[in-house]
Structure 1
C-alpha cells in the first residue's frame, strides 16, 4: 500500500530521517526462487549480486531487505513498497516505479540514472553518493529525506512536494523544480546552475555560498539584465 504524505504549506521544522530497522538475520535470495511477481512479498532477504533487471510487477512488497551489488535496472514496478530496506552498490538505472513508496531506507553508492519514481512517496530516506542524473520524481511527496553527495544533474522534481528534503553537496545543474512545493527545502554546498522553475523556490533555505549561481538563474527567469559597471 502506497504511503502518501499530505501537501504542506509553509516551512516545516526539519527532522532527520528515521533510520531503517534491519532484521537480526537475513536469508539469501536466489534468482530462481525470488523473481518479481504481482503481489509478491519479500521479507528479511538479502539480494546480493543478483541480476533482476527488466522485471515488472504490480503491488510487490519488500520489508527489511538488503540489496547489495544487484541489478534492478530497466524494470517496472506499479504500487510497490520498500520498508526498512538498504541498498548498496545497486543498479536502479531506468527503473520505472509508479505510485510506489519507500519508508525508512538508505541508498548508498548506487546507480540510479534515469530512475522514474512518479506519483509516489519517499519518507525517512537517506540517499548518499548516488548517481541520479536524469531521474524523475514528478508528483512525489517527500518527508524527512536527505540527498548527500549525489549527482542530480537534469533531475526532474516537477510538482513534487520537497518541503521535507535536504540537499547537501549535490550537483543539481539544470534540475527542474517547476510547480514544486519547496517551503522548508534546504540546500547546502550544492551546484544550482541553470535550474528550472526557480520561481517555485519560495520558502526554501539556501546556504549563502550557493546563492551566487542561483542569483543568475533567478535574474534570467525574471528577465533581469546584469551588466558590469566599471570605469574606463
Structure 2
C-alpha cells in the first residue's frame, strides 16, 4: 500500500510540488507462474531476475508487486496497470507500455531504451537513478511525477500534459516538448537542461536564472534574434 508524501511548495516560487508515493509493499510471494499472460492478474508477487523479453502481458494488472533485475526487451505491456509497485534495476530495449497506467510506482535504477509510453497515464510516480534513452511519452498524462538523479536522453513529451512534475538532480538531454501542456513543472533541479524542441511550450514551468542563460542562444534562434559580438 502506498502512502502519499506532499511535495514542496516550490521554495516561494509559487509552483506546486509533486506529491510523492511512499510504497510499502506487503510480504511478497516469489513468482513462478511461467510467462506473462495478456490480461493477467499479478498481486503481491516478486518477479526477480527473470527474462521477460518478448513476452506478452498486454492489459495485465500488477498490484503490490516488485519487479527486480528483470529483462524487458520487447516485452509487451500495452494497457497494463501497475499499482503500488516498485521496479528496481529493470533493463531492456523497446519495452511497450503504450496506454499503460502507473499509479503509486517507484522506478529505481532502470536501464531502458526506446520505451514506448505514448498515451500512458502516470500518477504519483518517482523515477530515481538509472538511464532511459529515447523515452516516448507523446500524448501521455503525467501528474505528481518526479525524475530524480536519472539521465533522460532525448525524451519525447510531444503533446503530453504535465502537472506537478519535478526534475531533481537529473540530466535532461535533447527533450522535445512540442505541443505539450505544462502546469507547475519545476525544471530548476535539473543538472543539465537541454531542450531540442518546444521551447514555446514552457509556459507553466519554472527554471533558474542559470538555466535561462544556458537556453538563451536557443531562445534567440527561435525568436529570429541575431546575436553578434
TM-score by length of 2: 0.88
Q: What is the rounded CA distance, in whole Å, between the counterparts of 1:196 and 1:126 in structure 2? A: 24
Q: Aligned pair 1:180/2:180, yes or no?
A: yes
Deviation at 1:183, TM superposition (A): 2.5
Distance 1:70 1:21, change over 3 A: same
* TM superposition shift of 1:92: 4.1
Between 153-162 and 91-100, the greater mean CA deviation after superposition? 91-100
Partner of 2:55: 55
Runs of 4 or more consecutive aligned structure 1 residues displaced over 3 Å after TM superposition: none
Q: Find the aligned partners of 2:142 and 2:71 in 1 and give their Cα distance.
A: 25
> Larger strand proportion, structure 1 or 2?
2
RMSD: 1.6
Residue among 7, 20, 23 paired with 2:23: 20
Q: Partner of 1:97 in structure 2?
A: 97
- The aligned length equals 215
**1:43-100 Cα shifts (integer Å, max 9, x gaps):** 1111110111111233100001001111122112221000011111111431011211
Match of 1:208 in 2: 209
Unaligned runs of 5+ in 1: 1-10
List per-residue Cα deviations over 1:91-132 (Å, max 9, x = no partner): 143101121100001111111221111101001111011211
User: Kindly tell me: are residues 201 and 194 of structure 1, through their superposed partners in 2, closer, same or farther at Cα, counting changes over 3 Å?
Assistant: closer
Instruction: For 1:111 and 1:92, locate their aligned partners in 2 and report how far apart those are by CA, in whole Å.
Output: 7
Runs of 5+ in structure 2 lacking a partner?
1-13
CA distance in 1, matches of 2:148, 2:170: 6
Change (3 A) 1:92 1:12: farther
Greater relative contact order (Cα 8 A, min sep 6): structure 1 or 2?
1
Tell me how far 1:207 sits from its aligned partner: 2.2
TM-score under structure 1 normalisation?
0.87
Separation in structure 2 between the aligned mates of residue 123 and residue 92 of structure 1, nearest angstrom:
23
The alpha-carbon deviation at position 194 of structure 1 amounts to 4.4
User: Retained in 2: the 8 A contact 1:71–1:92?
Assistant: yes
1:133 Cα deviation from its structure 2 partner:
1.6
1:18/1:194 Cα in 2 relative to 1: closer, same or farther (>3 Å)?
closer
